[in-house]
Amino acid sequence: MNAPPSTRAVIATLLGKDLRVELRTLQSVPAMVLFSTTIYVIFRFGLDRTELAGPLAAGVLLVTILFAALLAINRLFVAEREQGGFEAIRLAPVDGTALFFAKAAALVVYLVALEVVALPVFWLFFLDSGEGLLPLLPVLLLLDVAFAVTGALISPIATNSTARDLIGPLILLPLLVPPMIAASAAGQRVLAAAGPDYDRYGTWLGILGLYDLIFLLIGWAVFDFLLED
């Protein structure tokens, strides 16, 4: 008898599987990139501005990433549902929570891949100087983790309901208000027209980190109940 694999090994396997599938099918990330570029264009005309700084810059960038994240979150568990992945993880002698961590990690990878393209495009389209972008990176990373952990927790609920595309965003948007508040508050100051301003930068990073930690713990505690049948 072999011992069941460690949770870490299961997470690595599941994450590797998801990334391989994404690389072969290119289902999520290219769509997110295209989507966010189009949203920039819509904001350009919706706000009637060709240059952005401060709160408007942070708002346009973060809302665009949020919407792009919703696209990926909606699709996150579709393959599990349609091709029996939920049953497979239930039958396997492994901790089901590994699926939560793997999916959250996959989402972070997708979002970072999106930002690798979407951030330079944002700079090119709207910004005078890119000096605010560097201090924005930790904010974006913590925000990505917030999207990822809440997304990986809510997405299976939405995927297993009859109103899939509706339920996910409906629950996620209010849940994501606090990290959006913190990220916009930090982002609008580092993207200020007069150059980056670090007023309460640490506080906002702290709030983002706390949010990430709490939702990671909640996901860890309750995710198993989403798999039972």
Partner 1 sequence: MNLSLRVLAVATAVLIGVGFALVFFYVPNEADQGFIQKIFYLHVPLAVIALGGFVLAGIHAIRHLRTGDPVHDARAYVSIHTSVIFGVAVLITGAIWAKASWGRWWVWDEPTLVSFLIVFLLYATYYPLRYAIPDRERQGRYASVFAITAGAFVPLNFMAVRAAESLVHPRTFATADGGLTGKMWLTFLVCFAGMAALWWTLVRFELTAKRTSGQISRLRRALDGTAPAGGVAARIAPGATR
Q: By the criterion CB under 8 A, which residues form the site for partner 1?
A: 153-154, 157, 160-163, 166-167, 170-171, 173-175, 177-179, 181-182, 185, 200, 203-204, 207, 210-211, 214-215, 218, 221-222, 225-226, 228-229
In whole angstroms, the minimum distance from the beta carbon of 121 to partner 1 comes to 28
Q: Who's near 42: CB < 8 A, 6+ residues apart?
A: none
Q: How far is the CB of 7 from partner 1 (least distance, A)?
A: 20
Q: Which two tokens stand for residue 113?
A: 């891949």
| CB-nearer residue toward partner 1: 49 or 200 | 200
Which residue's CB is nearer to partner 1, number 132 or number 168?
168
Whole-number Cα distances in Å, 110 to 19, 22, 55, 143, 182: 9, 9, 26, 13, 22
Smallest distance from partner 1 to CB 185, Å:
6
Q: Which amino acid is at 21?
A: V
- Tell the smallest beta-carbon distance from residue 157 to partner 1 (Å): 5
Distances (CA, A) of 143 to 26, 43, 83, 116, 172: 23, 21, 31, 15, 14
Q: How far is the CB of 149 from partner 1 (least distance, A)?
A: 11
Residue type, 210: L
Spell out the residues 6+ positions from residue 164 whose beta carbon is closer than 8 angstroms to its own.
74, 158
Comparing CB distances to partner 1, the nearer of 5 and 178 is 178
The pair of structure tokens assigned to 46 is 């919706």
For residues 44 and 125, give the distance between their C-alpha atoms in angstroms, rounded to a whole number: 9
Q: Is 114 or 142 the residue whose CB approaches partner 1 more closely? A: 142
- Specify the DSSP class assigned to residue 163: S
Between 23 and 163, CB nearer to partner 1: 163
Structure tokens, 152: 């990986």
